[in-house]
Each structure stands twice: as C-alpha cells, then as structure tokens.
Chain A
Amino acid sequence: MFHWLEKNPFFFAVGVFVVIAFAGLIEILPNFAEASRPVAGLKPYTVLELAGKNVYKKDNCIACHSQLIRPFKSETDRYGQYSLSGEYAYDRPFLWGSKRTGPDLHRVGNYRTTDWHENHMMDPKSVVPQSIMPAYKHMFTNLADIDTAYAEALTVKKLFATPYDAPNGTPLGTHDEAKAAALEEAKAIAADMKNQSVKDAVANGQIPEIVAIIAYMNRLK
C-alpha cells in the first residue's frame, strides 16, 4: 500500500489532506459548536436597541470603544465578568473593536444609567472632566431609523431563525406593532431623561437617536 502511495503522489497528497483535515475538524468543530451557541437567557435585540446599535455603528463608537472584556483580573475588576463568545450570538456584526481610547462598553449597562448617558453625550466633560470624548449633541435632534432596524430584525429572523416572536424571545410582530413597541420602550427611557425637547419629541411619537443609543447602552450587560 505504501509503495502504491509513493508511486501516486496525487493520492498521497489527498490522503495527507484527509488526515490533517480530520484532526482539525475534531479539534475545532465541537468547541466552536458549543461556544457559538447563545448563552442561557440571551434575547435578540429589540427594534429600538437595534436602532441604537446602528447609531453606535454610524457614529463609529467602535473606533475608540471595545466591547470585549478579556479574562484578566485588572479588566474584570473594572468592567465586570469577562465576555463569553455566546453573548454575541445575536450580534450581526459583533462590535468587539480593537482600540480602547475610551473604556470597554460590553457591560456598561451594569454601571451607567440613562441620566448619566444623557449628561455624557451632551457634554462628556461635564461628568468626566479629563474626558477627550467629543460631544454627540446631534443625537438629541437626529431621529433614529426605526424602519431599518425593523428590516434588520425581520431579516435575521427569516434568514438565521433568530428567535424573534419565540417563547422567551423578543417580540417583533408586524412593522406597525414593532414601531409601537419601540415607541413604548422609548417613552420609558424618556421618562428617566431631563432634556425637554427629547421628552417632547417622544411624546409626539418621534424617537431621537439619543433614546435609541441609551436603550442600546442599557442593554449591554
């Protein structure tokens, strides 16, 4: 048999490939299959949170903020429990980032609140005097794109079977139902805010970007 392989280098190469590929499969696949599964209790993003996530992407928060807490004592002391890959199961795409000009945000919802974000986005130096983060005042006037967020949720629901409208999942419903639900969620956040023009806008059925990004920040736990 070995003489035959020596005389047929093509089949020898195929054999080598099969052996190495098999070793790779049994090392990589079981681990990957387990780690990529959503962690227990993880729910897909609501439409408002997705709209906030889009604001996060649009304003390029990822350029300065990471969303991945590494398993080092110094990081878990500051940011909380280290990140697990299953926590990003519904992130399309995940926003790990690779740069920490500002702090990590993966669990910012555990230790910052709606009113803090409101002060901070309007004028970061008013709460963190040495901050070099620019103000994001336009978030208070620009409106969040709820329609795109709904389309995104619907797409991942249909394409990847993300558990929207599933038991213990996140309700999505029709376009109108989703818009109404997003507005309800926005009202609860606006109630904790101080900015009158934001409160008025939400009362009139509009959702400024600041409300969406706060919904997203509060969700990061």
Chain B
Amino acid sequence: MNSLMIKALAFAVVLILATVVVVKGMNIDLSDPVNMVTILGAIAIAIISAGVVTKYIGQMKTDKSTGELADEKWDGIGEYKNELPSGWAFSFLGTIIWALWYWLAGYPLNAYSQIGEYNEETKAYNAKFEATFANPDQATLTAMGESVFLVQCAPCHGETADGLSGKAQDLTNRMSKEQVLDVIAKGSNQLGYPMGAMPPMLATGADAEAIATYVAGGMQGTAPAAFATCVACHGADGKGNNGAAPNIAEYDDAVVSHVLQNGKKGAIGAMPSFKTRLTPVQEKALSTYLQTL
C-alpha cells in the first residue's frame, strides 16, 4: 500500500464522517427511503472517488508513453496514433442507434403537444363531470344552474335575471305584454319546435290585446275567447302540448334548451345561440335554476 492510497482512503473516511455528522446534526429521518438512498449514494460517491483517483493518479505517475506518433506536429507537439478506447466507441455507436430511434419513433410518437394535453385534460374533466353528475338531485342542479347563469347569462340578463330594466329578457317573468304582441304581429320560426313556424297576425287588434294581457298576466282567470287560436298549438294551459310548441305559461326544460340551442331575436333584441357551449346537464341545471326564480 503506497502513500497515495492511504491519502485517498483518509479523504474518503473524512467525507463519510462529515456525511454522518451532518445527518446527526440535522436530525434527518433515515426511515424515509429517499433520505436513506441519498446517504448511501453520498457514501458510495466518496468511496468510488477515492478508488478512481488512486488508480489514475498512480497510472500518471508510473506509466510511460508508447506507440506510434502521427505524422503531423503542431508547434513541436505530437499525437499518438492510438485506437479509439472501446468504451468510447461503443457509446458512440449507441448514440447513433438511439438517434435513429429518436428521430423515427421517439420524438414523433412521444413529443409533447399543448393541444394534446388540452384534449386529455378536457376528456378527463368531461368523464369526471359525467360520473359526478350522472343523476344530480334538485339542489345540485339549482346550484350548478346558478353558477352557469352567473358566468354565461348574467352579463346580459343581470345577476338577478331581471333583464337589467328591459335590456334583455326578464327571466323572473315568462313574457311581457309587448313581447306577446310582438310575437303575434311577426310570428316566430326561430326555436325549432316540432310544430314548426307560427304564422304572423293570427290575431289582431282587440283580440291580440286580450291574448297579450292574459298571457303576460300569467294566464290567471278565464281565457279570453281569442285565446282559442293559441290553444291549438300551445295547449289550453299554454304549456306547449308536451314539447310540440313553446311553453308560454312558464319556463320549462324544453323552452330553455330550444332558446340556448337556436338563439332568439325578439322584441327586446337578439340572443346568440349557446350551442356546444353547455352540456345537456348544464342546460337542465340552468332551466331548473330559472324555475326557482
């Protein structure tokens, strides 16, 4: 054993002792595998360093240069014609093989894509949403409807859904007298109900007035005679014959869904279509919320 080896061993021992002192001093919890592995790694590094340093410094001290010199000399400094070290050559070949794989398969098949991440995020979210709200109860629907309303609807209809003094539909009320008169005068073919278009001018003058007052008043009391024109499609109770025509008595799931899908242009102004922006459950929630107003 020469002096170099002793020095290296002494250095390794110092490093290991220092590691142990630090571990004690910092009260590191060695039952945690990560900490344990780190400590073992530190000790291994100390021992391997000592071994490697001993070997190569010893070699530098004792080895003599041999071999054939290359023809070129640079300012008197020559170069041996040595073979490539085999480890170096094999790693070089390895990187070439890896590069081919990476170029043809690794990158094209595994590259990060922001849109891909978005698609996965959306898919996972939708699956979770559908699982969570497969059979929502009334309270869940109302709460969901309120939050959807505040984000998507409140900017136009107002946070209390009152239509901001006539700037949009007042959702606490089905229809105003002006709106009923407007629909009677212009007809309507916007909502895509099975019954199809409502022709304009089915009622005029006093008849139209009477219908409008009756419908806007929440269909209380006896219907005026002229309302018979409306009954054929909207039903005697105004509820739209089970979804064949719009419910003019109150908001129901069908009317909310039809307006969201098709948009609407009425006496007040236009509402854009919200097609694809809400899921069926969200539409149902919105309609549930509107019915609580």
Contact = CB atoms under 8 A, between A and B. Distances in A.
Interface of A: 3, 71-73, 76, 78, 80, 82, 110-116, 119, 126-129, 192
10 contacts: A3-B72, A71-B114, A82-B115, A112-B156, A113-B269, A113-B270, A115-B269, A116-B155, A127-B156, A127-B164
Contacts of B271: 113
B159 interface: yes
Given A116-B156, A119-B167, A127-B155, A192 B122 contact: no
A115 B167 contact: yes
Contact of A114 (B122, B152, B155, B269): B269
B199 interface: no
Interface string B117-132: 1100110010000000
B272 A73 contact: no
B277 A111 contact: yes
Interface residues of B, number: 24
Given A73-B122, A113-B156, 6 more contacts: A72-B121, A73-B118, A112-B272, A115-B269, A127-B164, A129-B159
A82 B269 CA distance: 28
Contacts of B72: 3
B47 to A, nearest CB: 40
A82 B118 contact: yes
A113 B272 contact: yes
Contacts of A114: 269-270
B214 interface: no
Contacts of B109: none
A88 B117 CA distance: 23
A116 B166 CA distance: 11
A107 to B, nearest CB: 10
A114 B168 CA distance: 12
Nearest to B168: A116
B269 A71 contact: no
A192 B269 contact: yes
A168 to B, nearest CB: 24
B34 interface: no
B166 to A, nearest CB: 10
A73 B124 CA distance: 11
B11 interface: no
A114 B265 CA distance: 11
